[in-house]
Amino acid sequence: MGLLRIMMPPKFQLLAVLAFGVAMLFLENQVQKLEESRGKLERAIARHEVREIEQRHTMDGAKDVVLDESDDVVIIYNRVPKTASTSFTNIAYDLCGKNKYHVLHINTTKNNPVMSLQDQVRFVKNVTSWKEMKPGFYHGHVAFLDFAKFGVKKKPIYINVIRDPIERLVSYYYFLRFGDDYRPGLRRRKQGDKKTFDECVSFAGSDCAAEKLWLQIPFFCGHNSECWNVGSRWALEQAKYNLINEYLLVGVTEELEDFIMMLEAALPRFFRGAAELYRTGKKSHLRKTSEKKPPTKESIAKLQQSDIWKMENEFYEFALEQFQFIRAHAVREKDGELYLLAQNFFYEKIYPKMN
């Protein structure tokens, strides 16, 4: 290109640059169309697979089968982006064949975490009455949904993982620009933007604004409009309430192994073998954002001045304290190794006496 510029008159140089720019725009447009086509194909294949399963079970008379209590279980992992959710979900996929349960990804249009009312009804009906998919592990970037509002007798088991809010935002910032080692060839939305997180903060960019921290609270708060009002104190309190009352266990990214170990102890039907699988360090269980640079103390201090950070951090600290409380009553450490406590309750004074 440099040689052509030397040999060409200025007029033709300009035309060449314009032609090159048009060609690049055309290529980007074609790549975008290919991504959209691939997405449509994946959804079509998924729908076909679902229809095949339903037809096969219908032919076998599976709809009349009464499930055992241990099989009539559904877990929902409404995963928050960039909290090690892919690493954890891959464990579920690796175990589902051996432990005999189904894993289903909830793929919402444009990753919108809020469902329409009609989709909420459809989803609740699917999860509760789709016997062919039980026991089932559903995962996706979806806000908490209160099944009790729909008159459901047996609610699913909710679990989740959250992360230090600034660390999560930094990871997401670089993920949009450089992707990760899980699908390195996939083009990301902000690809080509070389600006570091620190530079973004110094120039008050929108991608690193304090408002972008507002995510974990609304994910736990749910589908109420107030949940998505940035900085809502009501949303924070509702998120805390749901975490305590609606979730079996909420872990933290920084202590993921402990979270997996406790899930295996509490729900062996799904997670038997999960802790060992995680410790083996298989590549499928490790996903790291590429080109991530830790923020400076100045950038962190600037974000921490925001009331939004203070609320998200309050929620994170609340979740962390709850997790550590549960862990303290479930796990012990000996010689650098963690182990689960044995059952420490029993029954006595049982009446009337059996002959």
Residues designated as active site: 139, 141
Q: Which helix (H) or strand (E) holds 201?
A: helix 197-202
DSSP letters spanning 140-178: -S-----GGGGT-SSPPEEEEEE--HHHHHHHHHHHHHH
**53-to-13, 130, 138 alpha-carbon distances in Å:** 60, 11, 17
Residue given tokens 């009312």 in the structure block: 117
Closest CA to 241 of 154, 146, 172: 146
Tokens 């590549």 map to which residue?
A: 283
8-state DSSP, 79: P
| DSSP helix/strand/coil, 326 | helix
Q: Determine phi and psi for 32, rounding to 5 degrees.
A: -65, -40
Query: 81 in helix, strand or coil?
Result: coil
Helix 256-266, helix 85-99: angle, nearest 10: 30
Tokens of 218: 């609304």
- CB neighbourhood size of 122 (10 A): 12
